[in-house]
Structure 1
Amino acid sequence: MQNPLLENFQTPYQSAPFNEIKEEHFLPAFQELIKISEKEIDDIVKNPEAPTFANVIEALAFSGEKLDVVSGIFFNLNSAETTDEIQKIAQEVSPLLTEYSAKISQNEQLFEKIKKVYDEKEKYELNEEQQTLLKETYKGFVRSGALLNESDKEKFKIISIELSKKSLQFGQNVLAETNNYFKHITDEKDLAGIPAPILEQYREEAKERNLDGFVITLQYPSYLPLMTYAENRELRKELALANGKKSFNNNEFDNQNLIKEIVGLKQEKAALLGYKNYADYVLEERMAKSPDKVYTFLNELLEKAKPFAEKEIEELKSLAKADGIDEMESYDHAYYAEKLRKQKFDIDDEELKPYFQLEKVQEAVFGLASKLFQLEFKETDKIQKYHEEVKTYEIFENGEFKALLYVDYFPRKGKRAGAWMTSFKNQFKKNGENSRPHISVVCNFSKPTADTPSLLTFQEVTTLFHEFGHALHGVLANTTYPNLSGTSVKWDFVELPSQFLENFCYEPEFLKTFAKHYKTGETLPDEKINKIAASKNFLEGYQTLRQIGFGLLDMAYHSKNEKINDIKTFEVQETKATNLYPSNPETAMSTSFSHIFQGGYSAGYYSYKWAEVLDADAFQYFKENGIFNPEIAAKYKVLLSSGGTKDPMELYINFRGSEPKVESLLKRAFG
């Protein structure tokens, strides 16, 4: 069988040939590319010449290039356009890749050569990026078990394979639970309070299922408006219960035992390598360095934020009380938060949405990248796509090709919830050529209807800016080695570019450039723009406490070596200091906490708040000197393009002139 994944892609920029790829191509491609990559490693090991930086460290950095590209294509499809068959292949492929990685990291002869180069590094006159690559390569092998005895190496490999399988299963269970639920409503009276455009969206969903009336799903653009606007409290409760019970239903998609197994395996892995717990293992490679420092950081924020959060919730409770609700529940929060926001700022999402047409918001974010970093975006139809809704753009800098960008904005059955940036191909320099990246931004915004284009809530506007901030980190990458490129940075640094870009959404002079009514072209009135800016810190105390709660729960799972008997009990105990509503015994957050059990945020969820300190401090620098200041933008561009070539604190100080101050965040959040 001819397999396009095994050939050189005869496409523009060697982009993924989606039109030619079939599901049955993936498994044989992985099997063959793993063999090819293993041969590349074997060539490094068997090279009779003395080990050098070039023939060991650089050769290793550039090995497995085609395997990386095919992995990017496959796992991006598994997130954005999955099928039962792709999920089945993922369960077969993940252990193969884990085993392949383990074979490399536990190859004694290869590690001997790496160690020799590392021990003799002084003689090579390496530049800063080469020094970083050498240090990270050596350390990566040690952290992957290179110094273990044979028996422990085998244990390490088995644990890694099991973790890859179980993490995949966790995500597949959450996706199945999300897709399996829908609420069918025939009487429009049950949907009182919900704005007409959302009702139209619910009608469209019903039509797609060949039903009359309305259908609400657990997809974010469907679920959140119901929780925000539905006057029907029982309906809010029902949807919140369904959402909160995802993978907590004691059925085939239940994640409770899977969580215990994942946590146990991570602890075993850390113990094998000589760490007290998995958080110690992870945080050694983060800016925070230790669990103690993370706990100190989170608890300091908790102490500052909690009085504000409690005051905010009292305001919401007084609104609920006026409606006859004596005991406010978590499923009432979004509804009364929207009421209070309208009362305080006289704005609501549905009133603002006509001013945030998706295409105009995208134009704005492209324009911002152009103004700050001299980038130009051209839509192209010559790039193959994995779905007809995907759009593709060529990005240029001063006329020179910089990157490919794929954007995929709307929910589908085969797409997981949320929003993310990823890449199909990293940037690197080889044989005198700067090979440019292929970046993807994936979201779940409301689809356009027959009468209306896709209109975003203001929160969705900030989501698009957030993900585009990550995309710029990839687009501007300018490093030699692919494993130091773009977002390949310390995990608690990776959210700086994304959260930084969100700040522009609250700047009146920038908002005016794109907040225009989709029908009339009228600019959002100054009064509303000023209220958006003023509302930036609305319920900031509550939101901060919520994020701290996620961070504390994550740290508890990964730093406490106690046996977890019951997921719900453990969750309640570890988040009680941040919970401002009664806990419902029928729901659990952990069982759909994909960030830490499927994604890469294990012992790292705190990094969202950590990065907020960085982004508040960085944007303060712009604010003091002009938000489009070209000199500061140029310095920030250096930070973005440097990827993981330097210690992130050094990069930050080079940009800002000093270390970030937590006071910048506190000042922005609480004045």
Structure 2
Amino acid sequence: MNRELTDWAGPHGLPRFDHISDDDFAPAMEPALTASAEAMEAIAANPEPASFDNTVAAMETAEEKLNRVCAVFYTLTGVDSNDRREALSREFAPKLAAYNSRVSMDKRLFDRVSAVWNQADTLAPEDRRITELALRDLRRAGAGLTGADRTRMTEIRQRLAVLYTDFGQNVLADERDFVMEVPQDRLDGLPDWLLNSMGAAAKERGRTGQVVTLNRSLIVPFLQYSDDRDLRERAWRAWVARGSGDGAGGAETDNTGIIAEILALRHERAQLLGYADFAAYKLEPEMAGTAERVEDLLSEVWQAAKRRTDEDAAVLSAMMQQDGLNAELAPWDWRYYAERRRQQEHDFDQGAVKPYLTLDAMLGAVFDVAHRLFGLEFTPFEAPLWSHDVRAWQVTRNGREMAILLGDYFARPSKRSGAWCGALQYQHKIGAGQRAIVTNVCNFTPPAEPGAPAYLSWDDAGTLFHEFGHALHHILSDVTWPSISGTSVARDFVELPSQLYEHWLEQPEVLDKHARHVETGAALPADLRDRVIAAGNADQGFSTLEYLQSAFVDLALHRGQPPADPMARQAEILAGLNAPMAIPMRHASPHFGHVFSGDGYSAGYYSYLWSEVMDADAFAAFREAGDAFDSDTARRLEETILSRGGSAPADELWTAFRERMPGVEPLLTGRGLI
């Protein structure tokens, strides 16, 4: 076994990725699983009466080696997958599921934690909280089941683990294998910065000229700027076909059957535990609580967004008519005409802004905001990581190390799509304690040449701020136990810090300081800055409606009896919403990784909107203080939310900060829907 997988000896306690090979993972996984199983068995079989220390506290550290092996392996499978790692993922999935089932369904552990909970009044607040959560998780995992029900629950969980892995790998394969070459005589409308990005994508794949891939940072601007309607349609259809059986991999990467099986197994799992359906099971521990409350929020926002998109569709259709196109506005048309409209109404061209929005400049903005709000400092250092372009920073405050931040920002064929924040290790105070090692991963288009500036779109810059907001939740975490550290909170609360942090990108003083021309160093002109902000809020009806459709579909698929044909049910749900044909759902089910590559956002995609209600209200607290950098408000935000992790229920953390529950009006106002 390669000890580098568990005894991290790299700079600042990082794993030494240059000393780890794919051949190391299987020999490390087996002993790590065995060690965890033995530790948990010792807790469950302890002849001493159950106490907090010998049961709940002991469970917090029992899986340390396994967590470290998994942290390294699953970080790599997300950012740099290959055939060997995909095969290992398929091999490990049922083994990890079997282990997790044995532990989380152990009646002896359930009984011991229950005994500790019976003494809850004698526990310190954090100790009481993790006992409450441990008991809840054991119950929801099926620790109270017996006989055939218990056996069936184990089978379901193992099968779901395999299906989740297959789903994600199918989507990655379709994304990786699609490349559309764009002939030189069909480049009309594409700005130079996009042509450079398309050229870099071609070079990365050993081709010449310009290509379009399914990297969001490439395909979205292509759909916005290409004058070639036929190529836009071809690119769009490939994008939405991922995982459907019509993608680059054909029937081999078809996820539709996988989705049907996942939905059926989730429903059966929920009913074994006494819930009416999976939505009821999944929403029980969330802030929303019930599907009815979620649907009420989605419907309220839908009505406002639908009115706006109906108006917008009429304007865009008229623009098509003016171009001599006697055709119905299609999904591959909306972004193109919306961008032209944005340029006309706001006198805004992304090409004029790109030189000011380089990755380095926006990282400077991200770090400066964190310093002004929370006193954090970021010092870069060299470390052997998984790719030459991954960056590392030591995060300190007043000389004290707070965390390590790793940034992997550029798209590569081996990286799964999207953007996310992860953690190689969580902050805690057990023994000598440990600080978080946090990863921020994005899929920005890399520069055309090594060492050249990397240009971001306005949306890219927002993504950078968003993922760093998640990182802050880890960096500022100040709790005793790892199970409630950082982002270990209710799913519909976890997006609050990330979405809140996006607001600082729009602050004029941030852009004035950091949005500097890459060649001249000149500040972003004030009039262009104002137009950027105004243009960034344009077409909010479209972005709201495409998101809401995915949220409605996710919720509906998990309510009631699971559909035998999920794609027919998806079509039925969308027809009932009566959305404009030109605005499809943001994530169709066959590539809806949030929902079907794991349990994370299943029946929970609504949580981005739920959190946005809070983030709009939270930023209003800074406005009410008269300063986006008000120190008292920032201190209260850290003390009540960012440092607390899951140490209290989400609604308690929120009301400690705001002293009331939020309303939807700031969200609608912020999106320009009222």
TM over 0.5: yes
SS at match of 1:252: helix
Give the Å deviation of 1:13.
Answer: 3.5
The C-alpha deviation readout for 1:616-645, integer Å capped at 9, x for no partner, is: 000011112110000000011121010000
Q: Contact 2:18/2:386 (CA < 8 Å) preserved in 1?
A: yes
Give the Cα separation in 1 of the matches to 2:238 and 2:580.
21
Which deviations, in whole Å up to 9, do the C-alpha atoms of 1:389-422 show, x marking residues without a partner?
Answer: 1111100011001111110111111101111110
Q: How does 1:552-591 map to 2 (within 5 A)?
A: 552-565=552-565, 567-576=566-575, 577=577, 579-581=579-581, 589-591=588-590
The 8 Å contact of residues 572 and 583 in structure 1, kept in 2 or not, is answered as no
Structure 2 residue aligned with 1:92? 91
Secondary structure of the residue aligned to 2:212 is strand
SS at match of 1:429: coil
Q: Is residue 306–residue 579 contact of structure 2 (8 Å, CA) maintained in 1?
A: no
1:295-321 C-alpha deviation (Å, 9 max, x unpaired): 111111112221112112222222122
| Percent identity of paired positions between Structure 1 and Structure 2 | 34
- Contact 2:6-2:68 at 8 Å conserved across structures: no
What amino acid sits opposite 1:598 in the alignment? S
Q: Could you tell me which residue of structure 1 aligns to residue 464 of structure 2? A: 464
Question: What does 1:513-524 correspond to in 2, within 5 Å?
Answer: 513-524=513-524
SS in 1 for 2:386: coil
Task: Say whether the 8 Å CA contact 1:5–1:25 is kept in structure 2.
Answer: no
Cross-structure match for 1:350? 351
Q: What is the distance in 2 between the residues matched to 1:468 and 1:419? A: 11
- Cα pair distance change 1:622/1:3, threshold 3 Å: same
Structure 1 residues 582 and 532, CA, compared in 2 at 3 Å: closer, same or farther?
Answer: closer
User: Alpha-carbon deviation of 1:201?
Assistant: 2.3
Q: Distance in 1 between matches of 2:205 and 2:490?
A: 44
Which secondary structure does the structure 2 equivalent of 1:486 belong to? Answer: coil
Shift of 1:539: 1.6
Deviation of 1:556 after TM superposition, in Å, equals: 1.1
Partner of 1:42: 41
Offset from partner CA, 1:72-94 (integer Å, 9 cap, x none): 11111111011110010011111
Is 1:221 aligned to residue 217 of structure 2? yes
* Distance verdict in 2 for CA 1:204–1:667, change over 3 Å: closer
In the TM superposition, residue 115 of structure 1 has moved relative to its aligned partner by 1.4
Post-superposition offset of 1:121: 2.4
Q: Is residue 199–residue 448 contact of structure 2 (8 Å, CA) maintained in 1? A: no
- CA distance in 2 between counterparts of 1:4 and 1:234 reads 54
Structure 1: tracts of 5 or more residues without a match: none
Q: Which residue of 2 aligns with 1:533?
A: 533
Displacement, 1:15? Answer: 1.5
Superposed CA deviations along residues 528-586 of structure 1, whole A, max 9, x for unmatched, are 11122333431222222221111100001111314332x4322221123152125899x
Equivalent position of 2:138 in the other structure: 141
Match in the other structure for 1:410: 410
Give 1:37-186 correspondences, 5 Å limit.
37-122=36-121, 125-185=122-182
Contact 1:391/1:406, CA 8 A, preserved across alignment? yes
> 2:117, 2:510 → 1: CA distance?
49
Q: SS in structure 1 opposite 2:564?
A: coil
Deviation (angstroms), 1:374: 0.6
3-state secondary structure, aligned to 2:253 = coil
Q: Give, in whole Å, the separation in 2 of the partners of 1:242 and 1:421.
A: 27
Shift of 1:39: 1.2
Amino acid corresponding to residue 500 of structure 2 in structure 1: F
Match in the other structure for 1:390: 390
Question: Aligned partner of 2:448: which letter?
Answer: T
Contact 2:354 2:456 in 1 (8 A): yes
Whole-angstrom distance in 2 between the partners of 1:629 and 1:493? 23
Does the CA-based 8 Å contact 1:515-1:524 persist in structure 2? yes
2:275 alignment partner, SS class = coil
AA aligned to 1:520 is: T
Residue 208 and residue 546 in structure 1: after superposition, are their counterparts in 2 closer, same or farther (change >3 A)? closer
Structure 1 residue 452: deviation in Å?
4.1
Matched pairs, number: 663
Instruction: Name the SS for the 2:380 alignment partner.
Output: strand
Aligned counterpart, 1:446: 445
* Cα displacement string for residues 634-665 of structure 1 (whole angstroms, at most 9, x for unaligned residues): 01112101000011111111111221111221
CA contact (8 A) 2:334 2:583 kept: no
Name the aligned partner's letter for residue 52 of structure 1: S
Q: 2:9·2:15 contact (CA, 8 Å) conserved in 1?
A: no
User: SS of 1:430's equivalent?
Assistant: coil
TM-superposed CA distance for 1:487, in Å, is 0.3
Structure 1 residue 512 corresponds to structure 2 residue 512: yes
Greater Cα offset, 290-299 or 526-535: 526-535
In structure 2, distance between residues paired with 1:129 and 1:315 = 55
- Equivalent residue runs for 1:636-651 within 5 Å: 636-638=637-639, 639-651=641-653
Tell me if structure 2 keeps the 8 A contact 1:4–1:21: no
From 232, 236, 259, the equivalent of 2:232 is 236
Preserved CA contact (<8 Å) 2:298 2:606:
yes
Cα distance in 2, alignment partners of residues 579 and 568 from structure 1: 17
Deviation at 1:10, TM superposition (A): 2.5
Counterpart position of 1:268:
268
Residue in structure 2 matched with residue 202 of structure 1 by the alignment: 198
Task: Look up the SS of the partner of 2:377 in the other structure.
Answer: strand
Alpha-carbon distance between aligned partners in 1 of 2:384 and 2:539, rounded to the nearest angstrom? 43
**Distance between the aligned counterparts of 2:322 and 2:208, measured in 1?**
35
Instruction: Give, in angstroms, the shift of residue 348 of structure 1.
Output: 2.3
Deviations 1:209-238 (A, max 9, x none): 443322221112221221111000000011
In 2, the alpha carbon distance for the partners of 1:128 and 1:209 equals: 55
- Quote the Cα distance in structure 1 between the aligned partners of 2:607 and 2:349: 30
Alpha-carbon spacing, 1:209–1:120, altered in 2? closer, same or farther (3 Å):
closer
Q: Distance in 2 between matches of 1:351 and 1:560?
A: 51
TM-score using structure 1 length: 0.96
Task: Supply the AA of the counterpart residue of 1:526.
Answer: A
**What is the DSSP-based 3-state SS (H/G/I as helix, E as strand, rest coil) of the residue aligned with 1:178?**
helix
> Would the aligned equivalents of 1:280 and 1:291 in 2 still touch at CA under 8 Å?
yes
The answer on whether the counterparts of 1:5 and 1:26 sit within 8 Å (CA) in structure 2 is no
Q: Does the C-alpha gap of structure 1 residues 466 and 588 become closer, same or farther in structure 2, counting only changes over 3 Å? A: closer
1:356-380 Cα shifts (integer Å, max 9, x gaps): 0110100110111011011000000
Question: What is the match of residue 657 of structure 2?
Answer: 655
Distance 1:407 1:138, change over 3 A: same
Partner SS, residue 479 of structure 1: coil
Question: Which residue in the other structure is 2:291 paired with?
Answer: 291
2:381 equivalent in structure 1: 380
RMSD: 1.7
CA contact (8 A) 1:355 1:515 kept: yes
CA distance in 2, matches of 1:479, 1:11: 25
TM-score by length of 2: 0.96
Contact 1:95-1:162 at 8 Å conserved across structures: yes
Structure 2 CA distance for aligned equivalents of residues 210 and 134 of structure 1: 55
User: 2:5 touches 2:72 (CA, 8 Å); kept in 1?
Assistant: no
Query: Which residue identity lines up with residue 607 of structure 2 in the other structure?
Result: S
Could you tell me how far apart the structure 1 residues matched to 2:299 and 2:42 are?
Answer: 51
- Summarize the Cα distance change of 1:409–1:588 in structure 2 as closer, same or farther, 3 Å threshold: closer
Aligned residue identity for 1:107 = D
Q: 1:584 to 1:114 in 2, by over 3 A?
A: closer
For 2:426, give the aligned amino acid.
N
Q: 1:424-443 alignment to 2 at 5 Å?
A: 424-431=424-431, 433-443=432-442
Amino acid at match of 1:180: D
Q: In terms of mean alpha carbon deviation, does 173-182 or 575-584 score higher?
A: 575-584
Distance 1:661 1:546 in 2: 22
- Describe the SS at the equivalent of 2:153: helix
Task: Supply the AA of the counterpart residue of 1:157.
Answer: T
Shift of 1:193: 0.5
Instruction: Provide Cα deviations, 1:117-149, integer angstroms capped at 9, x if missing partner.
Output: 122323xx2122111111100010000001111
The CA deviation at 1:423 is 0.6
Contact residue 429 and residue 435 of structure 1 kept, 8 A? yes
1:535/1:210 CA distance change after superposition, 3 Å: closer
In 1, the alpha carbon distance for the partners of 2:280 and 2:571 equals 23
User: SS of the residue aligned with 1:160?
Assistant: helix
